[in-house]
Structure 1
Amino acid sequence: MKRYKALTWDHPRGYNALAAAARLPALAEAGIAIEWDKQPLEGFESHPIADLCARYDLVVLDHPHVGEAVTSACLQPLEAVFGNETIASLEIDSIGPSLASYRFGGAHWALPLDAATQVMALRADLLASPIPVTWEDVTLLSKETGKVALSLAGPHAILSFLSIAAASGEPPAEADPDLLVSESTGKAVYELMLDLASRSPASVCDKNPIGILGHMAQHDDVVLCPLIYGYVNYTAPSSGNPIAFHNAPRSGTGGRPGSTLGGTGIGISTRCEVTPALRDHLLWLLSTQAQIGFIPAHDGQPSSRKAWHDPEVNARWNGFYRNTADTLEAAYVRPRHDGYIAFQSKASALLRQAFETRAAATDTLCALHDLYSEHRTAGGER
């Protein structure tokens, strides 16, 4: 029996489907066993990928880690494991940039098991007005109710900043990888977030997305969170109130729903001996059969475009996929150079401090740009 050690993140969406798949009789019959361990969400977002790959054969990761992984030479390129034709086929099947986000330095480094991006979460039973479409609508609801929360803990302050900039027509560091955002766009985004942060309920200020959604399900002091990573599980919770998810806000009607891509991919560490049985199992996880049937049935969030538009999947999860698919298709892909993860953590801390002290936009943007330049690898690829 060939045994593999694997690591994912500690949430039903990240663990249950993988663990259930590892228990399927077909694996034992093929002579392999996969043991999935879990790490907290914060570790998934920031733990050094090389350290994880030194201890595990399979590692569930976020796409901004790929630059760091390439520098550390700790992952196997998917083309070498599965072949170019298979990867091209997966590219067609994956929704939005789910697979493309793992491409760096001429190769792909993780299989897109799970697709997610920032979307709008709300308590439909508490919302007296129409569902907001634009950031102007969100601001008005915030002023009227005081119950609009920003997701700012961990890396999420800067992720929201990037998303609003993308909605404003300037996806950060896209036209010029050395420039995070222009002064005019950065100032507008900062002032919008500063205004919303001043009224964001204190009850969720230190919570990660899972914490915010859990709070919203149990309490009535947060009606809406305009940018938060979507978790299908909260549309039909075992306890508490259901959360409804809709497309991220736009700068204006008809504009792009600004959102920063999340989701997870399965990376294969260089310590892993890939047998035909393991290869077949990993590809099965991305098959139409698994993506539409097995993964949603085990609390997972599929990456297949077919699954996101499947009527039965949407009926089971109250339209979560259908209501947010446009946002995922247009999601912004973060820089992936080595050093980006460190920037993300420090930039979020910087923004939280600026919101707390009501720092001037010019000073904050200057510090943000300095931080980005400091962690930008010279000549690095996005």
Structure 2
Amino acid sequence: MTYAGLTWDHPRGHDALAASAGDLVHWDVQPLEGFESHPIAELCDRYDLVVLDHPHLGEAVGADCLRPLDDLFTPQELARWATDSIGPTMRSYAMDGRQWALPLDAATQVAATRTDLAGEAPTTWDEVHDLAYRAPVALALAGPHAFLTFASVAVALGEEPATDPDELISPETGLAVLDLMAAVDALAPPETRTLNPIGLLELMARTDRLAHCPLVYGYVTYADRLVFTDAPSVAPGGRPGSTLGGTGLALSARCTPSAALLDHVRWLMSPAAQRDFLPRHSGQPSARAAWADPAIVAADFYRRTTATCELAWVRPRHAGYIGFQTAASAAVRAALAGEADHSEALDRMRVLYRASRTPEERRA
């Protein structure tokens, strides 16, 4: 039997899965944005395996379209993968006491630099702002990334967003974040404001029009052209503010997995696959041991960004979160463009967050 799988259309998301699947899984691809434009239940109706991002869990669990992995793997296996996975990657796919996906791929927002244009990568937000006067610096603001950048700066300032189900962030921190973002964005090349992370990295790698991005999802496939380092903190030695990304491997409710399929999933999470096969096929492993292995392909990429991945913030995963993330990003962009003052934009984001949660979730 051949199973149908859906992943994202980048070598990091596709190549290792396709190369290892043989006749067991046929992998289709779609853009990352496709996972937001197509309801997860619709995708799970068509595919047995789905590579997804953790904020989609609430929608998926609410639609009852995923198979809980604790029904398929032993507690010992799940505990081992949780211990072995870097940062919060494994727990980001746990919800309501069940494990819904495995962290096949680990990524978080880190800094990317053309050191020939910018010199040594800045480590604090003050240094980022100073660099922006001397070299082209840009924030990631397209699509959902405006809010993700907002959240990461808040973490660096000392407040994780959404720790209260009824409150996104304190007014003091929220305004400080928007002020900091506006100061950096005011100096950014205008063409960067519509680029997603891959577009920003492409611009940086192929032209001299962008020298530094302080928060962009790390792609090991660019490590031969760009220097990746930990996300900036507010003060030297402080927490690098970053929002966890990466992808997880889930089985849809329609899937009746064979022993061969479950063994293949086990192999994808194994040290042999994580430390050797995935990196050799453009993958970005989730195993902490792979990130610490000096022999791994592009070892400097992992070594220089490990601290950020270990401390990354995990986004909310309630069913209304994706819609909130989209609307909140528009509010951030409006504030930076001068279309709304910062207090007005922040108030809108806080209202949107409360509206994204059901009364039951807000009381939880």
User: Do structure 1's residue 350 and structure 2's residue 328 form an aligned pair?
Assistant: no
Over the matched positions of the two proteins, sequence identity in percent amounts to: 53
Q: Which residue of 2 aligns with 1:160?
A: 149
User: Do structure 1's residue 283 and structure 2's residue 266 form an aligned pair?
Assistant: yes
For residue 349 of structure 1, report the CA deviation from its aligned partner.
1.4
Q: Which residue of 2 aligns with 1:102?
A: 93
Tell me how far apart the structure 2 counterparts of residues 346 and 156 of structure 1 sit (CA, whole Å).
Answer: 11
User: Do structure 1's residue 151 and structure 2's residue 140 form an aligned pair?
Assistant: yes
Greater alpha carbon shift after TM alignment, 41-50 vs 80-89: 41-50
Q: Which residue of 1 aligns with 2:42?
A: 51
Q: Which residue of 1 aligns with 2:210?
A: 222
Greater alpha carbon shift after TM alignment, 136-145 vs 260-269: 136-145
Cα distance per residue 1:152-187 (max 9 Å; x no partner): 00100000000011111100012x122111000000
User: Do structure 1's residue 177 and structure 2's residue 165 form an aligned pair?
Assistant: yes
Q: Which residue of 1 aligns with 2:275?
A: 292
How many residues align? The count is 363
Tell me how far apart the structure 1 counterparts of residues 85 and 309 of structure 2 sit (CA, whole Å).
Answer: 11
For residue 189 of structure 1, report the CA deviation from its aligned partner.
0.2
User: Do structure 1's residue 311 and structure 2's residue 299 form an aligned pair?
Assistant: no
Q: Give the alignment of 1:227-246 within 5 angstroms.
A: 227-236=215-224, 242-246=225-229
Choose from 181, 192, 213 the match for 1:204. 192
Q: Which residue of 2 aligns with 1:112?
A: 103
Unaligned stretches of 5+ residues in structure 2: none
Tell me how far apart the structure 1 counterparts of residues 171 and 25 of structure 2 sit (CA, whole Å).
Answer: 49
Tell me how far apart the structure 1 counterparts of residues 285 and 299 of structure 2 sit (CA, whole Å).
Answer: 15
Give, as a single letter, the amino acid of the residue that structure 2 aligns with 1:259. S
Tell me how far apart the structure 2 counterparts of residues 309 and 46 of structure 1 sit (CA, whole Å).
Answer: 36
Give, as a single letter, the amino acid of the residue that structure 2 aligns with 1:359. A
Tell me how far apart the structure 2 counterparts of residues 288 and 109 of structure 1 sit (CA, whole Å).
Answer: 21
Distance 1:275 1:318, change over 3 A: closer
For residue 350 of structure 1, report the CA deviation from its aligned partner.
1.7
For residue 46 of structure 1, report the CA deviation from its aligned partner.
4.8
For residue 374 of structure 1, report the CA deviation from its aligned partner.
1.1
Q: Does the 8 Å CA contact 2:137/2:211 hold for their aligned counterparts?
A: yes
Give, as a single letter, the amino acid of the residue that structure 2 aligns with 1:60. V
Q: Does the 8 Å CA contact 2:291/2:299 hold for their aligned counterparts?
A: no
Give, as a single letter, the amino acid of the residue that structure 1 aligns with 2:148. L
Structure 1 counterpart SS, 2:354: helix
Structure 2 counterpart SS, 1:254: coil
Structure 1 counterpart SS, 2:55: helix
Give, as a single letter, the amino acid of the residue that structure 2 aligns with 1:81. L
Q: Which residue of 2 aligns with 1:132?
A: 122
Q: Does the 8 Å CA contact 1:120/1:247 hold for their aligned counterparts?
A: yes
Cα distance per residue 1:116-173 (max 9 Å; x no partner): 0000001112123x3211111101111233x001110010000000001111110001
Q: Which residue of 1 aligns with 2:7?
A: 8
For residue 78 of structure 1, report the CA deviation from its aligned partner.
1.0
TM-score (structure 2 length as normaliser): 0.97
Q: Does the 8 Å CA contact 2:48/2:254 hold for their aligned counterparts?
A: yes
Q: Which residue of 1 aligns with 2:82?
A: 91
Q: Which residue of 1 aligns with 2:244?
A: 261
Give, as a single letter, the amino acid of the residue that structure 2 aligns with 1:36. W
Structure 2 counterpart SS, 1:311: coil
Choose from 317, 340, 349 the match for 1:336. 317
For residue 45 of structure 1, report the CA deviation from its aligned partner.
4.5
Give, as a single letter, the amino acid of the residue that structure 2 aligns with 1:204. T
Greater alpha carbon shift after TM alignment, 252-261 vs 356-365: 356-365
Cα distance per residue 1:191-236 (max 9 Å; x no partner): 1111111111122221110111011111111110000000000012
Tell me how far apart the structure 2 counterparts of residues 60 and 192 of structure 1 sit (CA, whole Å).
Answer: 34
Q: Which residue of 2 aligns with 1:21?
A: 20
State the Cα RMSD in Å.
Answer: 1.3
Q: Which residue of 2 aligns with 1:187?
A: 175
Q: Does the 8 Å CA contact 1:337/1:377 hold for their aligned counterparts?
A: no
Choose from 57, 64, 71 the match for 2:55. 64
Distance 1:124 1:318, change over 3 A: farther
For residue 358 of structure 1, report the CA deviation from its aligned partner.
5.2
Tell me how far apart the structure 2 counterparts of residues 338 and 164 of structure 1 sit (CA, whole Å).
Answer: 24
Q: Does the 8 Å CA contact 2:118/2:131 hold for their aligned counterparts?
A: no
Give, as a single letter, the amino acid of the residue that structure 2 aligns with 1:187. L
Q: Does the 8 Å CA contact 1:111/1:265 hold for their aligned counterparts?
A: yes
Structure 2 counterpart SS, 1:8: strand
Q: Give the alignment of 1:359-370 within 5 angstroms.
A: 359-370=340-351
Tell me how far apart the structure 2 counterparts of residues 338 and 188 of structure 1 sit (CA, whole Å).
Answer: 28
Tell me how far apart the structure 2 counterparts of residues 343 and 272 of structure 1 sit (CA, whole Å).
Answer: 30
For residue 320 of structure 1, report the CA deviation from its aligned partner.
0.1
Tell me how far apart the structure 2 counterparts of residues 358 and 346 of structure 1 sit (CA, whole Å).
Answer: 15
Give, as a single letter, the amino acid of the residue that structure 2 aligns with 1:178. D
Tell me how far apart the structure 1 counterparts of residues 300 and 64 of structure 2 sit (CA, whole Å).
Answer: 41
Q: Does the 8 Å CA contact 1:166/1:172 hold for their aligned counterparts?
A: yes
Structure 2 counterpart SS, 1:226: strand
Tell me how far apart the structure 2 counterparts of residues 41 and 331 of structure 1 sit (CA, whole Å).
Answer: 20
After TM superposition, which residue ranges in structure 1, 4 or more long, deviate above 4 angstroms? Answer: none
